[in-house]
Amino acid sequence: MSGPLGTLSELRDALDAGELTSSALVAASLERAATLGASLGAFIRLREPEARAEAEAADARRRAGRVLSPLDGIPIAIKDNLVRAGEVTTCASRILEDFVSPYSAGVVERLDAAGAIVVGRTNMDEFAMGSSSEHSIFGAVRNPWDSTRTPGGSSGGSAVAVAAGIVPVSIGSDTGGSIRQPASFCGVVGLKPTYGRVSRWGLVAYASSLDQIGAFGRSAADVATVLEVIAGHDPRDSTSLPEPSPPCVEALEADLSGRVVGLPREYFVEDGMAPEVRTAVRAAVAELEAAGAKILEVSLPHSEFAVAAYYLIATAEASSNLARYDGVRYGHRASGVSDLSDLYDRSRSEGFGDEVKRRIVLGTYVLSAGYYDAYYRKAQQVRTLLRRDFDRAFSSCDVIATPTAPELPFRLGERAADPLRMYLGDVYTVSANLAGLPGVSIPCGLADGVPVGLQLLAAPLEEAKLLGVAAAYQRQSDHHRARPPEEA
């Protein structure tokens, strides 16, 4: 087979019908990853011999009638901040460029048990700190719709791997929009589940109270299928929810009759949103209404403080989490040092990139004596107010609709000297992480030849309802069927 791979459901049907083997599918995925994926900077490392052997085993299971799950024999890509025993996990950082994990992440274990075949590790912003996938020792990731533009971040490689037809689904992580924003910029579906729905065991931490693992796909059905595999309680993760994960795929056929879609008045203001984004999102809301949904204005009055609160909490937690990289136990170790203090200083200075250093410095300041109450504590109080805003809004609506990003994909290098402007691009996504909500970005049109995303948010644990609305919208539109040019 040649050309971009189809959707998860299309490939699964072809496998079930005997029209395709997993070996052929994985071979095509690897070939595409080595060519188009390389030109786009999507992958850090491919698992070619391992993936081919796993595909042969999947074909043998299928011939014997022992299919493990809907993902059995399907190629998938994972972000390079999920560890696997015996394999290098870098987080796109020099400080971990030779780190071999002694254990596997909970999500990786679940994918393996389901028969999914990980073909490679995707490129990302270093330690998931960024919104453009430019902060990587392996080079920038490029948007397949326009290779001069960013694919978003930090899970840019995972989004590109799906958008470019290299794999039908992929795994990313979302701390402040790192799945949803790349999904919007690349024209695919990106799901961030409720905090605690998916185990963080083996996810290299950025900000522990905000990080969550999720999925990319071509459709709401694709990401729902992946969620059913990766979700569930994990006793090794103290924040893992004990509630069983509900079946999501069976909820996708529901229509929008009786559903109420909330539009937060604070998000739809004239300033700060590109007119092309406003037009596309308003059109998407009109399509939801035409499909039977009721549109209701809601208020999230503390939204204006979300970005500030997020970057105080996230950087504080990053400062704490990244203190473990000291050049002693594992990771990069500076040579020719004079004493222990010199070892710490030089190992971290050589190992971390500029954006990571910027966030560590900010977070350390936030947590320092005399500033903790003024900044970190105050940000946590704002976080509580934001959660209460959403609780009130969801008492009158089923989901909330917003733009995913306030702008179109920007040019590579355009924000390199303006980190504040980069941070403000997260204005519509960070609230979901602060409040622990599930959120999904779905394609809602093209502008200037690049995609625009619609974000839907739901109350905690309401993934089935959220994906049901997303699926209903996709039955009304063809935006998710658009494909980037083969040579961007």
Q: Both tokens of residue 77? A: 């890509």
Q: Both tokens of residue 191? A: 């799901």
Catalytic residue among 22, 23, 79, 104: 79
First to last CA, the chain: 21
Q: Both tokens of residue 239? A: 């924040």
Does 154 qualify as catalytic in the annotation? yes
In whole angstroms, give the CA distance from residue 421 to residue 423: 5
Instruction: Tell how strand 399-403 and strand 169-174 pair up.
Output: unpaired
Which residues are CB-neighbours of 78 under 8 A, at least 6 positions away? 107, 108, 111, 118, 121, 122, 158, 170, 171
Does 79 qualify as catalytic in the annotation? yes
Catalytic residue among 29, 101, 154, 158: 154
In whole angstroms, give the CA distance from residue 179 to residue 154: 7
- Side-chain half-sphere exposure of 464, counting CA atoms within 13 A: 12
Q: Phi and psi for 287 in degrees, rounded to 5?
A: -65, -40
- Single-letter amino acid, residue 436: G
> Residue 354, Cβ neighbours under 10 Å: how many?
11
DSSP lists the bridge partners of residue 174 as 212
DSSP lists the bridge partners of residue 264 as 298
Report the length, in residues, of the chain.
488
Helix 306-321 and helix 354-367: axis angle, to 10°? Answer: 100
In whole angstroms, give the CA distance from residue 296 to residue 310: 27
Q: Both tokens of residue 270? A: 């004239």
Q: Both tokens of residue 256? A: 């929008």
Sign of CA dihedral 469, 471, 475, 480: positive
Catalytic residue among 178, 303, 319, 347: 178
Instruction: Tell how strand 169-174 and strand 189-192 pair up.
Output: unpaired
Burial class (CB in 10 A: 0-12, 13-18, 19+), 45: middle
> Which residues participate in catalysis according to the annotation?
79, 154, 178
